[in-house]
Amino acid sequence: MTEEYTIDMIIQKILADDKQYDLSKIIASYEFAAKAHEGQTRSSGQPYIIHPLAVAYILLELGMDTDTICSAMLHDVVEDTPVTLDEVKRLFGQDVAMLVDGVTKLNKVPIFNREEQQADNVRKMLLAMSQDIRVIIIKLADRLHNMRTLKFRPGVKQRNTAHETMNIYAPIAHRLGMRGIKEELEDLAFHYLDPFAYSEIEHILELKKNEREEFITSIKETIASRFRDQDFAETPQIDGRVKSIYSIYKKMFVSHKTIEEIYDKYAVRIIVSNVGECYNVLGLVHDMFRPIPNRFKDYISTPKANMYQSLHTTVLGKEGIPFEIQIRTWEMHATAEYGIAAHWKYKEGNSQQKSDKLDQRLAWIRQVIEAQQTSDDVEEIVRIIKNDLAPEDITVMTPKGDSISLPVDSTIIDYAYRIHTQIGHKTVGAKIDGKLVPLDYKLKTGEICEIITSNEPDKGPNRSWLGIAKTNEAKSKIRSWFKKECREENIVTGKAELEKSFKHFRIRIPDDKLGEFLADDLKRHNCNTLDDFYASIGYGGVLLSKIIARLKDKYVKNYQEQEEEQETAVIRPVIKPTSGIVLDKIDDCTVKFSQCCNPLPGDEIVGFITRGHGISVHTTSCTNYKAAVRRNNPEELARWMDVQWTDTEQRKLQTSIEVIATDRVGLVFDISGVLMEARIPIVHSSSRNLKNGNALFEATITIAGTDQLKNLLERLRRIKGVISVERARV
């Protein structure tokens, strides 16, 4: 979108709103920002001020307050212009200055750029959020506009930004309950992370667009006509839509469903005046359409963790086409759409209830900050942000009748630590509805759970609990206990684990070189000494399974003895000649890829005109080519010509795959062999060990089309030890 945002649009919107704004302050902030950014342009070539205006507009749509809108106008002036924070404070007050400062600080936090800083940066971001939640709301709006205009940025930047958006900002928007922003961020990020899948779904949706629209319209009409003879406080509003591309993708590629099999790609939403009417409407729609068993969810009596409330049911339409119906009140609707922003949008409503909700949301942020204090691992923190927001939470009751929300599959250990850290540490057993259950018992909604604790003052957790706990909260509390209480034991355990692992991976480092070999890892995990590092491994702060592949790599590259290399030497696969991938100017002549240097797309290449066999392509670093250059024989040199990869190679789209296999030596080589043989360029790949002993290999590849992809997945499945090959969840 290259929409032209203007101050007039903002003024019009403010005048049309019932909410009170300080219009002159907003205009003043605009004039100040426009002057400060004068002469600056965006990557799109537009004047820079378009961006702050767009961010302010997005926030206005969310119903944010005057100071937030002013801060949006000014959010880049301190960073990108000579304007100082003091000046902002003098002109627009303490609050605006604080918000601008918060956003400026967040901008300096490049989450996925330099690995050793990541954990720290995520922590900084969460801290800024907990100080004033409006900072992150402005940041989300800023990110949304940057994502909308991402096509003007260079490719590498696009991927990093999209990755960060998908992994940090969209989950935060979700947790803050801001559905609209979350879905748009996801769809935009997904478009850059897997353009191939994105265009596939977009194409499918486009195919039968009219049919789909007619389907939704006819359902809306059917429901509306049934409502006409019913008694409602106000006529219910009925909306219908096809769900977001990313949500369809998740269902199609992750649960392997065709688009026709996705139950809830259509969503019809019915908004009524009060809770009683929600249940009446449910009765009516179940009477009109056949409900699909087990698809009814009552999020009114049991709200989701992000405070979302609605009734959900999936029913069959006339032609047997299933669709989801969501039923909610206007208030629930505001919470669902605007989430935390509803606090500002509907401030004049029931203010006690509103600030309770705000407190609960802020409590989540504090919880995440606490939970990640014991972990230096950014992957873990990202997982905390993403995972602890499983959409389907359970609610368990304490014997006193307080309700505790936990992710699905939570155990007694999770519950005990959620109640209190000390209760967690001292847990010896639990009763569910009065009956004793084991510690790994999985709790279900509605159960009453009583924890039995030990009287011993020194009682602490058991290491095996780390395997039982589901929430990161419990895990990090267990870890931090071990970190504090058992340093000596942790050093011994950690050292033994490292040695065992080195032995397994045949990493042989003399003792006097170990410090040097592990130096990077010590730094990365904030360890000053080897003992600190062993201790971290011992209490689980450093996961060997995550670092061992990198260590092995480093070992093979820098430390391994020559004779050992033979053992793991890679046999490069033979490349079958494919035509049509090269050439500049001479498209139709026969082309083959030389076997001496195996050129791959992206390599610098030269062509050699053979006698009667077309052109053979070599890399410019090929020894044969270099020898020819050295010989400097004019007749011979005349047969070497400049060739280039054609652009079509660049225009192909990227997608990601995941291979799960039993861990064995040479697995990664076999997988990359297949990819090379199929001449599929790898943009990025990584592999790691899973908890169950299997290995996970992930790769982002460049692909020409569905057929090529299917073919590739089929070939990967045939590799020895491979358990599954799937397209990856983005």
**How many other CB atoms are found less than 10 A from the CB of residue 692?**
7
Strands 591-593 and 615-619, by their bridges, are parallel
CB of 161 to Mn ion, least distance (A): 12
CB-neighbour burial class of residue 91 (10 A; exposed 0-12, middle 13-18, buried 19+): middle
Beta-bridged to residue 324, according to DSSP, are 267, 314
| Coil, strand or helix at 526 | coil
Structure tokens, 456: 């011993």
Does 380 participate in binding Mn ion (rule CB under 5 A)?
A: no
Closer residue to Mn ion (CB): 140 or 491: 140
State the Cα–Cα distance between residues 122 and 111, nearest whole angstrom.
Answer: 7
Least distance in Å: CB of 730 to Mn ion? Answer: 24
**Closest separation between CB of residue 295 and Mn ion, Å?**
42
Is 403 exposed, middle or buried (CB count within 10 Å of its CB: 0-12, 13-18, 19+)? exposed
Q: Return the SS3 of 325.
A: strand
Q: With H, G, I as helix, E, B as strand and everything else as coil, classify residue 272.
A: strand
**Is 67 near Mn ion (CB under 5 A)?**
no
Q: Residue 65, interface with Mn ion (CB under 5 A)?
A: no
User: Nearest-CA neighbor of 533 among 524, 472, 506, 478?
Assistant: 524
CA–CA dist 395, 254 (Å, integer): 27
Stretch that binds Mn ion, among 142-150, 449-457, 565-573, 696-704 (CB under 5 A): 142-150
Closer residue to Mn ion (CB): 106 or 412: 106
Active site residue 726: no
Q: List the beta bridge partners of residue 76.
A: none
Q: Which of 167, 273, 268, 172 is nearest to 216 (CA)?
A: 268
* Side chain identity at residue 301, one-letter code: S
- Of residues 77 and 474, the one with the C-beta less far from Mn ion: 77
Stretch that binds Mn ion, among 138-146, 239-247, 434-442, 701-709 (CB under 5 A): 138-146
The residue among 65 and 76 lying less far from Mn ion, judged by its C-beta, is 76
CB of 75 to Mn ion, least distance (A): 6
Contact stretch for Mn ion (CB under 5 A) within 16-24, 69-77, 300-308, 518-526: 69-77
Measured between alpha carbons, how far is 326 from 347 in angstroms, rounded to an integer? 25
Distance CA 411, CA 441 (A): 5
The least CB distance from residue 142 to Mn ion, in Å, is 4
Instruction: Please check whether residue 178 is in contact with residue 339, taking contact to mean a CB–CB distance below 8 angstroms.
Output: yes
Is 58 an interacting residue with respect to Mn ion (CB under 5 A)? Answer: no
Cα-Cα end-to-end distance for the chain: 23
Identify which of residues 76 and 473 has a Cβ nearer to Mn ion in the complex.
Answer: 76
Binding flag, residue 142, Mn ion (CB under 5 A): yes
**Which one of 4, 17, 38, 79 is the catalytic residue?**
79
- C-beta closer to Mn ion: residue 110 or 602: 110
Q: How far is the CB of 322 from Mn ion (least distance, A)?
A: 42
Please name the amino acid found at residue 262: I
Candidate ranges 68-76, 301-309, 413-421, 700-708; the one touching Mn ion (CB under 5 A): 68-76
Q: Is 183 in the site for Mn ion (CB under 5 A)?
A: no
- Which residue's C-beta sits nearest to Mn ion? 142
Q: Is residue 42 a contact residue for Mn ion (CB under 5 A)? A: no
* Contact flags string 71-110 toward Mn ion, x per CB under 5 A: -----x----------------------------------
For residue 165, the minimal CB distance to Mn ion (Å) is: 14
Any contact of residue 150 with Mn ion (CB under 5 A)?
A: no
Residue 141 or 315: which CB sits closer to Mn ion?
141
- Identify the bridge partners of residue 111 per DSSP, sorted by sequence position: none
Output 33 or 591, the one with its CB closest to Mn ion.
33
| Gap between the Cα atoms of 602 and 682, Å rounded | 11
User: From the CB of 143, what's the least distance to Mn ion, in Å?
Assistant: 8
377 binds Mn ion (CB under 5 A): no
3, 80, 337, 698: which one is catalytic? 80
What does the alpha-carbon distance between residue 425 and residue 410 come to, in Å, rounded to a whole number?
17
Question: If residue 146 lies in a helix (H) or strand (E), which one and from where to where?
Answer: helix 133-148
Q: Is 79 a catalytic residue?
A: yes
Interface region with Mn ion, contact rule CB under 5 A, candidates 139-147, 221-229, 234-242, 494-502: 139-147
DSSP-assigned beta bridge partners for residue 314 = 324
**Window contacting Mn ion (CB under 5 A); options: 141-149, 379-387, 506-514, 601-609:** 141-149
Q: List all residues 6 or more positions away from 157 whose beta carbon is below 8 Å from its beta carbon.
A: none
Active site residues: 79-80
Residues that bind Mn ion (CB under 5 A): 76, 142
